[in-house]
Structure 1
Amino acid sequence: MTNSINFDLCPEFQLRGAGFPSSWPGRLASDRTSDWATRFDEEVRTLQDIYASERLQEAIWWQNPAFAGNVLPALLRGDCNISNSKSRRRLKKFVSYLQRYCAKNEVIGFFGPVGFGHLVSGSTEARDSRGPWLRDRKVYMEPWVVHALWRHFTSQAPQHALLWLSPKVRLEQGVVFDGSASRRANGGRAITEEMQRLLERLKQAPQSTETLLGEGFDEATLTLARRQSWISPLPAIPSNGFPLDWAVQKAQEYHPSIGEPLLKELARFRSCLEQMSVGESRSDRLPHLIQNFQQLIASKNSGQVSRNKGAFYGGRLGFYEEGVRRSMELPAGWVESVLPALGLVLRSARWMALETARTADDLLLEKARKLHRRYGDGYPAVLLWEKTIDIFSKPSLLGFPEAEAELSRRWQQALGEPDLERSGASFSCEEVSRRVELLFPQQTHSYKGARFHSCDILFTAQGKAVLGEIHPCLFPFQDLSTTLHHPHIETLRSWYRNRREGRDVRPATFVPFTRLHLDGRIDQEAYAVLVDPHHGSWRPASQQVRLGDLTVHPSEERFCLRAPNLPDVDLLDFFSGELSELQSLHFSPFSRIGPGHRVEIGGLVVKRADWALKLSDFSSLQPLETAERISRLNRELIGKDLPAQFFARFPKEVKPLLIVRDSVLFLDLFWSLLVASGECRCSEVLPALDEAWLQTPEGLATGEARFVLFDKSCR
């Protein structure tokens, strides 16, 4: 499918949705004329009724076992005291989970299952495929749990633990390069002949300490190599989504003193995962299974049942469930009718992508030239990697704040001042297209990362389109979930392959979670560069190369990375994966346009009506008792024209929260977050929650389609 502004639309889309009915949060709205205590008790009883859902209990157990075990039983018993701040704090936590499960479009567990769909020409309504609501449910384990097991069992018999060479290490005669700063040996570190032999030996294959000592290596040499992080007893686990299978195979290569107890423990973990994966409803036994799994982890992980508090589901707990909803067909006409408007927004996405890519390119070239002046042609790529990777941890270095501000300024100029007397600003594509073309001109900078863009579109049951987020430089079908579950994966791969330019070379960077990491899985022919000692790649060995084997060379007025049997890769192209992840998160063309009315272009709602609120706006409420404060807050929000349901985005929160204006529990949550953050941006819920159309077992849920478009004009 094409539009007039040179974008190809992929007919396959990702379906993202909530796992519970959108009507549930609204049930907490209570009579504003009643007193605080009456409303509180009424809403708590409603929460208890909602919590009676076994699926909801199960969702909370999956996401936060500690909260589920310690708090929810008290809620079910009705052990909630209005005057007890601890009770109210727990209720606010539960309310925050409820709004997430009912009003957020996710791809997480069975309460926001992975879904896919296809655009169909000639159709006029959305159609679910046949079969059960959930097509599949399976529990997976994260690689960090395997590493915890490896640490435990190899420490029991360290002489038999295999030692692995870091992929960053580059060996030349008498010198090792690992990326660390050194003024000697042309950027490397001088090493002894024995150290040279040791590292060359481990480059061929991992060996145990006992074997190496038996071959005559000195123990002090091994100790030094470990201290310098050139070698490690922890292997690099491939990111294939099945670390347990890999661990079972790898454990068999170890000495029986490590391999046998490790295999027994892995069998216990597998049994636990299989039990958690069996059955449609497991709420009666799920708590025991999860607690058993956590006890297994704690017993081999220094007593810790999780890691990275506050991190992603799965990455934190060490296990996660993947739920897959049945696929769906949407009328192609729903999207085709708004493609001209979408093309205008994507034109600005292209502009921002190339602006920030140019800044990144300048920074990378500056680093590469500086190293080239010092070390000459063919210097080790690990030196460049260590000098440049920090760029991507600091978005301000890449000019994102300035680019975002300029993007919004140009869109404000393109749209002009809205008529505040109207309920919103509506434009035809013809009205704004000329200004958009002038304000976002075609650029000449070359950047392969800008070939694909994705966008989220929310539809009403009648096909009215609302633009959600736009993610420049993001091809969303690059993750493990797509590879495992997409019903037309080969069709999707073919669509991508026909628009790909050359074979990509991507660093296999570490992430704290596996399932949604965009590591190029749609492209089976790309190469992976191993850059992390403990994080491997899912690609075959013939398509893997160590960072230590790459060198940097001038190429015309630029630089490329080179390795045996690998096509030369341009410097910016090599880092495009790191850059595009940032670009996909920093595109909000209308968020900085002053708070005001809804904006619609060519039938596509591109900006919801929104409101900017500050704590100082409600200074008179702060000294009041809770009951009076909540009552006054409700009236003031009504006075500011906030609708009965709205989203509030707080600076310290990753996602916006749904707020039910006439619920004292929701208002209590809203107030606590406003006090903590000092400000928030609120927006209307559009489509409204009562326009939900995705089927769930309990009722209709919200949903959105994530589309991907190919920019044919990008080089």
Structure 2
Amino acid sequence: MLKKSQAVLTHSLDTGWELLPEFVFRTTGFPFEWLEELRCTQTLAQAKRLLALEQERDRLRDRFVHELFPRLIAFEQEREKVGSAVFSTLYKLRKRVMKNRTLSPDDVAFWKSRRYENADWERFVDEWNELESRRVEAIAAGEELFQAELARVRRVMMAKVADPRFQEAVFLSSPSSFQQVKKYGKDWEAKPEPEWNSTARGTERLIFAYLQRFCAKNDTTSFFGPVNYGTCDAAEPRAIRRAFREGNVLGKRRVFIAHWYVKLLAQKLAGRKEILPHLKPRPNPLVRPLDNHTFHFHGLNRTFRLPDAHARVFLALDGEKTVSRVAAELSMDESALIALLHEMQKKRLIELSIPLSPVRVDALAELRDQLAAFPPEARQAGEELIDRLEGFRSLLEHTPYPERVQVWEDVEKQLADLVEGDTRRKGGALYADRTALYEDCAGTLSALTIGGPLYRALTGSFMTTLKLLTAGAVLKWMDYQQAGRTLYRKLSADGNVVRYIDMIPLFEQGELEMRYTRQFQSRIQELLRRRQEEQPGAELHISEEEVRDLLEPFQEEIERGLAHLQMTLPSPDIMVAATSADAMERGEFQLVLGELHDDCSTIFNGFMAYFADDPEALWARFERRIQRMPQWERMATIITERRNKHVTPELPGHTILLSAVSTKEPAYVIPIHQVEVREIDGRLTLWANERPLTLYPGDLHSAAHGCFSLPCVVPIECTVSSELEEADVKRSPRIVVDSVVIQRERWQIPAEHMRADSQELKGFPLFVHMARTQMQFDLPDRFFVKWKAGEKPMYVDLSIPWSLEWMVRVAAQADRVSISEMCPGPEHLWWQDAIGVHTFELRTGYVYDYSAGLRQKQEARMDRR
């Protein structure tokens, strides 16, 4: 348990914190240098020089139009008659200047002929044409530089494409994209440096999309996003102690058959006549019996009656009895019962299938275990099929690249035949688990320990950030509670029972007041505005003492909330910025908060934990930690069908079924239609199994969930107006809390500012266009951009041509783009292995334990006596 000095143990959040010893080390499978090698830095620099010339020209133009010309006209009026041709010539000359045109020899000759004694007037035409000449030369130099740099970076890109590891990474991400990449390689074999036409550019943009993903993003996929586990150890003197496997080889590679595909397969098997009698039909958790014939379908808000036979069957189902047993209990013909069950399944009243747990990583193994409960004659066909699939899976796992490409394609065809359907969702594009087959890997580290100055930072200065964000989470929970109470009292006014499933959609109707949240965020914003006035343009710092001041007006509310809720389970992704590994050891580094998840359980169970040294022991330790909390039996997890490889574990306590099946004993499983809402001692709570229930978090950021869950500790959005702000553009400086970066500098920009006149704009003109946008909004050279919900951020480097082409295409599809600085930047990347320097992050887990905090305070008081 983390301890603070006695002097500061005055707030509930000062004590009770624990950094869990296990963490996941997430990094890229390819070095960041690969992206650096694609940079056209001279072209970007030339584009900026051109813009500097244009700015100088614009200043000269504006001075001429608004200052020199009016004085010049006044001067000429004193020596020329009204209607003189001099005036019309001067006005034509001004028009050319206003249009940024070069002055013709006749214009210059006319100007010189006027013999102006004013030096500014005399020099103007020469200055103007000289600037324009320099601008034209700058454009020509930019074009020349771009062509030279483009030839170089295209050769670099082709070298990456020729790398078997890159080819395999693309193949595992998207077999369809792999075919484009392979064709690109063959085009280069046929003709070195093929023409840079629209087809080539399109393929190169695709290649860059994968390069930025493999080299700049800490995704967890196969060998290009491997899983490594480490431990935190206060006794370890070094900041980082690490060891690599001999030969820098991967610890483990595992090919999986995707859950969604195995589910299709299970549905096929469930339709076989030898298996049907042994299935255990389950009522839809959304369907609630009202009496022997009347039912209510929650979610659809529909009450309906069933014929007598259908009603009797529905009421007999419990997910434990087989079709044969139900038929015997109801004295029904088995075939007639099966026909009736199929009819009810079409109406979504029941589920008649081989159940697959959504919380188990290996879906094929889960299907095998489910079949094992069937009699031999029923499971034989299914087991033979699973053995066949396991053979495919194992073959792929042990077949090296490039041979595995053909094997993979052959297996995909056979998988498609088995389910009579496609084996790729969304064309299998870009991200894993859109194909029926995918791979994950354990990384090259054999040992990793955090200690010394890094451990002290994670348990010291970083706690200020957690305290601030946890306070915000508790206050948001109180706001959700207030909104929930208002809604509940309205629904229960006539003594009606209020069911959670019916209340969920009603939370979304209208805007919530969120009084505490607004007040808390207002205090933060006010502090940040003051800080910005003190140091315009600089990153904004909040000290530990200032965090305490921010929390002061809300101490009573936070204390009440924590006393009731007892715990939080935040899981921050933390990056470490340093100039070198030696600097790290000296304590010269800065922590950077990446994403912040409100539930750390996925570290201990799920697809990442599959690659821990002892997954069962890892999960058991976490379960025991939860069960030390006094209220653990009143906790509940909501589970639903799994949509991808990410698994939300069933945590200790109860499981509420929205869909899917649970692995727990029936006594701890509750269909969601049975969950009521009640108000107890002024607090809204869920109620089922004769007890109140509190939901675990789970990255479900909604009022309907947050009202009844533990506080969801997530980032607080802080937008501080910048003096450079333009209409409809929001810019927020970097925010640092007690030396930890909690928010990178970021911009919200209307996409129209990023758009080019044509998506086909390319080469040096495109560099100039983006450099102009960079100058307008004071953007860095490198950043991440997000343009649409559900899309992963894209790494953008304004010196990489394909990065710019991506940017203008993204802008054409979006209304607004969100930009955040790259932090840590390239100068602060220090993790190096045999192949280069990598970005990385630590996915950590913390537990806040209110009861433990009280004990710590009591111990501190005893020590003072």
TM-score by length of structure 2 reads: 0.70
Structure 2 partner of 1:10: 20
Structure 1 residues 217 and 606: alpha-carbon distance in aligned structure 2, compared to 1, 3 A threshold: closer
- Counterparts in 2 of 1:11 and 1:567: CA distance versus 1, 3 Å: farther
CA distance in structure 1 between the aligned counterparts of 2:431 and 2:206, rounded to whole angstroms: 17
1:425 pairs with 2:527 = no
Residues 165, 206 of structure 1: 8 Å contact kept: no
Shift of the 304–264 alpha-carbon distance from structure 1 to 2, 3 Å rule, reads same
C-alpha distance in 2 between matches for 1:687 and 1:536? 42
Q: 1:190 to 1:623 in 2, by over 3 A?
A: closer
Are the aligned partners of 2:640 and 2:658 in contact in 1 as well (CA < 8 Å)? yes
Report the CA distance shift for 1:604/1:159 in structure 2 as closer, same or farther (over 3 A): closer
Alpha carbons of structure 1 residues 218 and 141: separation in structure 2 relative to 1, 3 Å: closer
SS at match of 1:74: helix
Alignment of 1:263-662 (within 5 A): 263-278=383-398, 282-307=400-425, 313-325=431-443, 326=445, 327-337=447-457, 341-362=461-482, 364-365=484-485, 372=492, 376=496, 384-390=499-505, 409-415=522-528, 416-418=530-532, 424-425=538-539, 427=541, 429=543, 432-438=546-552, 441=555, 442-443=557-558, 444-445=560-561, 448=565, 451-459=568-576, 460=578, 461=581, 462-463=583-584, 464-469=589-594, 471=596, 473-476=598-601, 477=603, 479-481=605-607, 483-487=609-613, 489=618, 490-499=620-629, 501-503=631-633, 504-514=635-645, 516-520=646-650, 523=651, 525-532=652-659, 535-540=660-665, 543-547=668-672, 555=680, 566=689, 568-570=691-693, 573-574=694-695, 576-577=697-698, 579=700, 587-590=715-718, 594=722, 595=731, 597-617=733-753, 625-636=761-772, 639=775, 641-652=778-789, 654-662=791-799
Closer, same or farther: CA 335–609 of 1 in aligned 2, 3 Å: farther
Match of 2:86 in 1: none
1:56 corresponds to which residue? Answer: 166
CA distance in 1: counterparts of 2:677 and 2:759, whole angstroms = 63
286-295 or 383-392, which deviates more:
383-392
More helix per residue: 2
Letter aligned with residue 513 of structure 1: N
Q: How far apart are the structure 2 equivalents of 1:390 and 1:178?
A: 16
Corresponding residue to 1:25 among 35, 39, 58: 35
SS in 2 for 1:15: strand
- Give the Å deviation of 1:102: 0.9
1:709 alignment counterpart: 846
Residue 194 (structure 1) shift: 2.6
Q: Which letter does structure 1 place at the counterpart of 2:437?
A: F
Which of 245, 249, 268 is the aligned partner of 1:131?
245
> What amino acid maps onto 1:666 in structure 2?
S
CA–CA separation in structure 2 for the residues paired with 1:328 and 1:709: 19
Q: 1:682 maps to which residue?
A: 819
Residue 66 in 1 paired to residue 176 in 2?
yes
Question: What is aligned with 1:199?
Answer: 314
SS at match of 2:845: strand
Matches within 5 A, 1:191-230: 191-203=306-318, 204-207=320-323, 214=333, 217=336, 221-222=340-341, 224-230=343-349
The structural deviation recorded for 1:68 is: 0.9
Choose which of 362, 366, 383 in structure 2 pairs with 1:242. 362
Counterparts of 1:395 and 1:319 in 2: how far apart (Å)? 41
Q: Give me the whole-angstrom Cα distance separating, in 1, the residues matched to 2:804 and 2:763.
A: 11
- Letter paired with 1:603: S
Shift of 1:252: 5.8
Give the drift of 1:349.
1.8
Aligned-pair distance for 1:27? 0.5
Q: Distance in 1 between matches of 2:732 and 2:677?
A: 51
* Counterparts in 2 of 1:558 and 1:312: CA distance versus 1, 3 Å: farther
SS in 2 for 1:600: strand
- Higher mean alpha-carbon deviation, 644-653 vs 99-108, is at 644-653
Query: 662, 666, 684: which is aligned to 2:803?
Result: 666
1:67-125, Cα deviation, whole Å (9 max, x unpaired): 11233332454288655333322221221111111111222222112222222335233
* Amino acid of the structure 2 residue aligned with 1:475: C
C-alpha distance after superposition, 1:287-316 (max 9, x if no partner): 223323322332234431223568995542
Shift of residue 46 of structure 1?
A: 0.8
CA distance change for structure 1 residues 42 and 478 in 2, over 3 Å: closer, same or farther? same
1:616: how far off?
A: 4.3
Supply the distance in 2 between the matched residues of 1:109 and 1:167 (Cα, whole angstroms).
36
Provide Cα deviations, 1:588-614, integer angstroms capped at 9, x if missing partner: 433566425444343323343445544
Q: Aligned with 2:539: secondary structure? A: strand
> How many angstroms does 1:699 deviate by?
1.8
Paired residues in the alignment total 693
> Which residue, out of 143, 147, 150, partners 2:259?
143
SS of alignment partner, residue 655 of structure 2: strand
Q: Distance in 1 between matches of 2:27 and 2:371?
A: 40
Does the 8 A contact of 1:179 with 1:385 survive in 2? no
Greater CA drift, 660-669 or 286-295: 286-295
After superposition, give the CA deviation of every residue in 1:302-357 in whole Å (9 maximum; x if it has no partner). 43122356899554223332212234212242253475653443333223323432
- How far 1:440 moved relative to its partner? 5.8
**Using a 3 Å threshold, how does the CA distance of structure 1 residues 359 and 429 change in structure 2: closer, same or farther?**
closer
One-letter amino acid matched to 1:527? H
Q: Secondary structure at the match of 1:237?
A: coil
Q: Report the AA paired with residue 3 of structure 2.
A: T
Q: Could you say what secondary structure the match of 2:354 adopts?
A: coil
Shift of 1:229: 2.0
Q: Which moved more, 1:310-319 or 1:354-363?
A: 310-319
Q: In the alignment, is the contact (CA less than 8 A) between 1:313 and 1:320 conserved in 2?
A: no
- Of the structure 1 ranges 341-350 and 218-227, higher mean CA displacement relative to structure 2 is found in 218-227
Paired-residue identity, %? 16
2:754·2:811 contact (CA, 8 Å) conserved in 1? no
Instruction: Specify the code of the residue in structure 2 equivalent to 1:481.
Output: F
Could you say what the CA RMSD is over the residues aligned between the two structures, in angstroms?
A: 4.0
Q: Is the 8 A contact 1:119 1:332 kept in 2?
A: no
- Give the SS at the match of 1:481: coil
Match of residue 352 from structure 2: 233
The 2-side partners of 1:699 and 1:577 are apart by 35
Gaps of 5+ in 2: 9-13, 44-141, 707-711, 723-730, 854-865
> Residue 411 and residue 549 in structure 1: after superposition, are their counterparts in 2 closer, same or farther (change >3 A)?
closer
Which protein is bigger by CA-based radius of gyration?
Answer: 2
Checking the alignment, whether the CA contact within 8 Å between 1:14 and 1:117 is kept in structure 2 is: yes
Which residue number in structure 1 is paired with residue 11 of structure 2? Answer: none
* Structure 1 unaligned residues grouped into runs of 5+: none
Contact between 2:266 and 2:367, CA under 8 Å: does it hold in 1? no
- Change in 2 beyond 3 A, CA 1:612/1:548: closer
**Structure-1 separation of matches of 2:37 and 2:480:** 49
Q: Hey, what does 1:174 align to over in structure 2?
A: 292
Residue identity opposite 1:333 in structure 2: P
SS for the counterpart of 2:317 is helix
Q: Deviations over 1:648-668 (max 9, x none)?
A: 333456333222221212222
CA distance 1:655–1:408, shift in 2 (3 Å): farther
